[in-house]
Structure 1
Amino acid sequence: MKKAFLFNFDVDKQNNQIKVERSFNAPIDLVWAAWTDAQILDQWWAPQPWVAKTKSMDFREGGHWLYAMVGPENEEHWARVDYIKIVPEKFFSGYDGFGDADGNLNPTLPRNKWENSFVEQGQQTTVNILLMFDTLDDLETIISMGFKEGFEAGLKNLDRYIASQFYLRKQNKPNNRARVSTYLNFPGNTEDAFLFYKSVFKTEFINGIRRFDDIPADPNQPPMAESVKKMVLHVELPILGGHILMGTDAPKEFGMTVSKGNNIYINLEPESREEAKRLFDELSADGSIQMPLQDMFWGAYYGSFTDKFGISWMIHFQNKE
Structure 2
Amino acid sequence: MTKREAVFSKDMKNRKLTVLRTFDAPVEQVWRAWTEGEMLDKWWAPKPYSAETKTMNFKEGGMWLYCMVGPQGDRTWCRVDYKTIVPHQLITNVNSFSDESGNINSDFPVMSWKNEFSQTGSETTVAVEITFAKEADLEKIVEMRFQEGFASGLSNLDHYLSTQFKIRKELKVDNTARVTTYLNFNGKTEEALNFYKEVFKGEFTGVGLRRFGDIELPAAMPPLSDTDKKLIIHGELTIMAGHVIMATDAPESMGFKIEFGNNMHINLEPASREETKSIFDKLSAGGVITMPLEDMFWGAYFGSFTDKYGINWMLNYQASN
* Range class of TM-score, shorter chain: 0.5 to 0.7
* Contact 2:269/2:315, CA 8 A, preserved across alignment: no
- How many angstroms apart in 1 are the aligned matches of 2:280 and 2:23? 30
* Contact 2:21/2:126, CA 8 A, preserved across alignment: yes
Give 1:36 shift: 1.4
Distance 1:227 1:281, change over 3 A: closer
Corresponding residue for residue 178 of structure 2 = 178
- Normalising by structure 1, report the TM-score: 0.66
Distance 1:303 1:7, change over 3 A: same
Residue 269 (str. 1) matches residue 259 (str. 2): no
Corresponding residue for residue 89 of structure 2 = 90
Which one-letter code corresponds to 2:161 in the other structure?
I
Which one-letter code corresponds to 2:79 in the other structure?
R
Distance 1:126 1:174, change over 3 A: closer
- How many angstroms apart in 1 are the aligned matches of 2:110 and 2:146? 13
- How many angstroms apart in 1 are the aligned matches of 2:249 and 2:320? 19
Corresponding residue for residue 131 of structure 2 = 132
Residue 227 (str. 1) matches residue 223 (str. 2): yes
Which one-letter code corresponds to 2:51 in the other structure?
A
Give me the CA root mean square deviation.
4.3
Corresponding residue for residue 9 of structure 1 = 8
- How many angstroms apart in 1 are the aligned matches of 2:319 and 2:124? 24
* Contact 1:172/1:318, CA 8 A, preserved across alignment: no
Unaligned residue ranges in structure 2 (runs of 5+): 195-203, 238-242, 252-265, 282-292, 304-313
Corresponding residue for residue 318 of structure 2 = 316
Corresponding residue for residue 189 of structure 1 = none
Q: Give the count of matched residue pairs.
A: 262
- How many angstroms apart in 2 are the aligned matches of 1:84 and 1:174? 37
Distance 1:42 1:246, change over 3 A: farther
Distance 1:31 1:278, change over 3 A: closer
Write the mapping of 1:98-247 to structure 2, written as runs, cut at 5 A: 98-173=97-172, 176=176, 178-179=178-179, 194-196=184-186, 204=193, 207-214=208-215, 227=223, 234-235=233-234
Which one-letter code corresponds to 2:130 in the other structure?
L
* Contact 1:181/1:246, CA 8 A, preserved across alignment: no
* Contact 2:186/2:249, CA 8 A, preserved across alignment: no
Give 1:109 shift: 1.3
Distance 1:318 1:136, change over 3 A: closer
Give 1:76 shift: 0.8
* Contact 1:8/1:20, CA 8 A, preserved across alignment: yes
Distance 1:15 1:145, change over 3 A: same
Give 1:98 shift: 0.7
- How many angstroms apart in 1 are the aligned matches of 2:38 and 2:319? 21
Give 1:28 shift: 1.1
Q: Which protein is bigger by CA-based radius of gyration? A: 2
State the SS of the aligned residue for 1:227: coil
Corresponding residue for residue 27 of structure 1 = 26
- Normalising by structure 2, report the TM-score: 0.66
Residue 279 (str. 1) matches residue 275 (str. 2): yes
* Contact 1:64/1:80, CA 8 A, preserved across alignment: yes
Residue 54 (str. 1) matches residue 53 (str. 2): yes
1:62-115 residue CA offsets vs partner (Å, 9 max, x unmatched): 111111111111111111111111111101011111112222211221111110
Corresponding residue for residue 263 of structure 1 = none
